[in-house]
Chain A
Amino acid sequence: MTAGTTSPPRTAPAPARAPRSSREGLAAVGFIAPALLGFVVFYFWPTLRGLWFSLTEYDFFSRPRFVGLDNYARMASDETFWNAMKVTVQYVAINIVVQTVLAVLIAVLLQRVTRSVFVRSVVVLPFLISNVVVALLFYWMLDAQIGIVNAAITGLGLDAIPFFGEQDWVVPTIALVNVWRHMGYTALLVFAGLMTIPEGLYEAGRVDGASEWRMFWSITLPLLRPVLALVLVITVTGSFQVFDTVAVTTSGGPGDASRVIQYYIFDLAFQRLEFGYAAAVSVVLFAILAAVAFVQLRLTRANESDLA
């Protein structure tokens, strides 16, 4: 970042500098032009357009009609919307709590027991498979009649569980399927954070006679907090946008039991052709995600000095 002056042995670094700078400016425009084009056309412009559509009534065929804040007012009394919110929050809560606990457990095991690349590869493998494949795989394994999981459950003398077929089961089921897919990946993010904690801390702890358990609570967890906050931003904002698993397995059912917010937006836009309203709901989703990220990043920054 600080330019040329850092290399004293070179005798004459100065002369080339001034003209180079302006030529570099011109070249830089060429270098970022494609990315800038992509940014303006596919990120910036659609963002503005999405905000505009949220203020209109639009069915894809006639021209969008400006309706002010009507869409937002409608949301307030839209039971399906509130149900979608509730379902999504339930999903996020189950998904994140289970996933984070398991990920920290796996990460600590990876650090304290083995650092083998093979073990790390195995745990991250599900993350590399597409959501669609994972959804189909578990739809099969959790099948009510001949799925292996229910075969095991009935084998134990218990009643078969209609994982995807019953209101109370469907959200936890989808949440746990996605835990299976993501826990290894999240564990590797946490693991990267663990590697920044100096081993000396644990040695000092051991010299003081602290148990592994004790060291986890008073060394690992406190020092991991900034990384954990960052990981949570990524995983929470990601899991708010759950779609693929729902679309492939239940299409939002039974009833509205798994109609998560992103599926509702998709449904509104492309099945009910209420594009303006769909845009408004996506603005709300955007706002929620921004708020989550903002709060969590504030927490991160507050803790940044921990290891410094």
Chain B
Amino acid sequence: MTVTTPVEPAAAGPTRASGPTAARAPRDRRVGVGRVVAWATLVLIMLVTLFPFYWMLRTALSNGTELATNPSSPLPVGFTFGAFERVLGLSTTAQAQAQGGSGAAIDFWLYLLNSLLVATLITAGQVFFGALAAYAFARLRWPGRDAVFFVFLTALMVPPIFTQLPNFLLMRDLGLLNTYAAIVLPFFFMTPFAIFFLRQFFLGIPREVEEAAVLDGAGTVRRFFRVIAPMASGPLITLAILQYIQAWNEYFWPLLVASDRSVRVLTVGLGVFRSQTPQGTPDWAGLMAATLLAALPVVVLFAVFSRRIVDSIGFSGIK
């Protein structure tokens, strides 16, 4: 509870403690027992993190019917791409069943297209409208601005389930159930997080940048699209990636309003696929192939943008 005591001496202490970058240089490089234990712990954590992904791959490359004969083999049992083929609809029903498939179609391509469409629309809307609103909150002067911003922020606190029940009714009353619009609309125009995230960045741009454009006679719209938005391309891309991943992974809302086959997204499709074999042994190889494929776009996105994503997470938490 006595918190402040250790702070005082050090704050006045060594001058090189200026920032995160300066902190890098003077580190203890002795190889002691503690260091070995620390590394071992870290490696263990990474193994625990990565092993399930390996197991997903190993199972997906196994032959479904042979899987039970050697459940703990570290390598695929009866190596085959059959599971991927039946998930992607490339094998006949007979072939699929011979390999332990249920014969039920998963319509992977349809769900994939649905997911792509929905996540893309949601991301585009959120980033675009979020940027507009964030600009108004950060760089325009108007009465009641801070009050309205506060109201937007409080929306962060409302648990989704609370608004989703009435929103379901709204969609039903509008006759939009089982349409793309129902999945997309509630997320399309705003998310408090997007506005907050971009506002922080816009606040940091010096006034002078815009003053020059003002002297050239540029109005707000022109200043936003020609000056501010291009400067903010980095944060805009980061936000888009974060929101895309979130939209891609959303399960509850699409399950409520769009469980019909024609508009089913991948997360909902996987849930249905799993429940199609409640009693008999599920087609584990097929399920793992499907989950792997469903996760693939996010993994690829992550592989390309990992530094950007990792760096922005620290910021996103400090709302």
Note all chain A residues with C-beta closer than 8 A to B185. Answer: 42
B71: contacting residue among A120, A147, A192, CB under 8 A: A147
9 contacting pairs across A/B (C-beta < 8 A): A38-B186, A43-B155, A44-B155, A47-B158, A109-B42, A128-B298, A130-B248, A130-B295, A234-B319
A146 to B59: give the CA distance in the assembly, Å: 12
How many angstroms between the C-alpha atoms of A79 and B38 in the bound complex? 47
Q: Is residue A185 contacting chain B, with contact meaning CB distance below 8 A?
A: yes
Q: Is A244 located at the chain interface by the 8 A CB criterion?
A: yes
User: CB < 8 Å: which of B49, B170, B189, B251 contacts A126?
Assistant: B49
A299 → chain B closest CB, angstroms: 12
B35 touches A113 (CB 8 A): yes
Given contacts A140-B59, A189-B314, A241-B160, A38 and B267 within 8 Å (CB-CB): no
Complex CA distance for A45 and B162, rounded to whole angstroms:
11
CA separation between A12 and B7, bound complex, in Å? Answer: 45
| A222 touching B26, Cβ below 8 Å | no
> B215's closest neighbor in chain A, by CB?
A16
Residue from A49, A112, A130 whose CB has the most chain B CB atoms within 10 Å: A130
B229 interfacial by beta-carbon distance below 8 Å: no
Q: Which residues of A contact B (CB under 8 A)?
A: 1, 3-4, 6-7, 10, 13, 16, 20-21, 23-25, 27-29, 31-32, 34-39, 41-47, 49-50, 53, 102, 105-106, 109, 112-115, 117, 119-126, 128-133, 136-141, 143, 145-148, 151-152, 155, 180, 184-185, 188-189, 191-193, 195, 198-201, 203-204, 206, 212, 218-219, 222-223, 225, 227, 230-231, 234, 237, 240-241, 243-244, 247-248, 262, 265-266, 269-270, 275, 278-279, 282-283, 285-286, 289-290, 293, 303, 305-307
Q: Among the interface residues B11, B245, B249, B302, which one has the most CB atoms of the partner chain A within 10 A?
A: B249
Candidates B3, B163, B220, B245; contact of A27 at CB < 8 Å: B220
> How many Å lie between the Cα of A212 and that of B207 in the bound state?
45
Main secondary structure on chain B at its contact with chain A?
A: helix
What sequence of 0s and 1s flags, for each residue 241-259 of chain B, a beta carbon within 8 Å of any chain A beta carbon? 0000100111110011000
Distance in angstroms from A207 CB to nearest chain B CB is: 9
Q: Is the CB of B41 within 8 A of A130?
A: no
Indicate whether A128 sits within 8 Å of B299 (C-beta atoms), given known contacts A24-B140, A27-B140, A189-B313.
Answer: yes
Known contacts A198-B10, A198-B11, A146 near B67 by CB under 8 Å: yes
Which of B38, B166, B270 lies in contact with A50, CB distance below 8 A?
Answer: B166
Residue B145 is within 8 A (CB to CB) of chain A in the complex? yes
Stretch at the interface among B89-97, B231-239, B304-312: B304-312
Of B18, B189, B208, B313, the contact of A7 (CB 8 Å cutoff) = B208
A196 to B49, CA, bound (A): 27
Q: Is B133 within 8 A of A192, CB to CB? A: no
Residues of B within 8 A of A23 (CB): 219-220
- A141 vs B314: C-alpha distance when bound (angstroms): 31
Q: Are A282 and B10 in contact (CB under 8 A)?
A: no
Give chain B residues whose Cβ lies under 8 Å from the Cβ of A227: 318
Q: How far is the CB of A208 from chain B (nearest CB, A)?
A: 10
Contacts of B267 in A (CB 8 A): 130-133
**Once bound together, how far apart are the Cα atoms of A202 and B295, in whole Å?**
41
Q: Which residue of B lies closest to A38 (CB)?
A: B189
Contact among B130, B151, B284, B314 for A195, CB-based, below 8 A: B314
Residues of B within 8 A of A3 (CB): 141, 207
User: Bound complex: CA of A185 vs CA of B310, how far in Å?
Assistant: 9
Given contacts A201-B10, A219-B6, contact A121 B72 (CB under 8 A): no
Q: Does B34 contact A (CB under 8 A)?
A: yes
> Chain A at the B interface: mostly helix, strand, loop or mixed?
helix
* A contact residues around B207 at 8 Å (CB): 3-4, 6-7
| CB-based nearest B residue for A109 | B42
Interface status of B279 (Cβ within 8 A of chain A): no
**Knowing that A38-B129, A132-B291, A195-B23 are A-B contacts, what are 20 other residue pairs whose CB atoms are under 8 Å apart, sorted by A's residue number?**
A24-B220, A27-B140, A38-B186, A38-B189, A45-B166, A46-B163, A53-B166, A121-B309, A129-B295, A130-B295, A137-B52, A140-B55, A146-B71, A151-B72, A199-B16, A201-B6, A204-B13, A248-B271, A265-B165, A282-B162
Q: Is the CB of A136 within 8 A of B135?
A: no
- Contact call B298/A121, Cβ cutoff below 8 A: no
In the complex, the answer to whether B252 meets A49 with C-beta atoms within 8 Å is: no
Task: Given A204-B9, A225-B3, answer yes or no on A27-B221 (Cβ-Cβ < 8 Å).
Answer: yes
Q: Is the CB of A206 within 8 A of B249?
A: no
The distance in angstroms between the C-alpha atoms of A275 and B34, with both chains bound, is 57
| Least CB distance, B196 to chain A, in whole angstroms | 12
Q: Looking at the complex, which one of B215, B270, B315 makes contact with A136 (CB distance below 8 Å)? A: B270
Instruction: Give complex CA distance A142, B165 in Å.
Output: 33
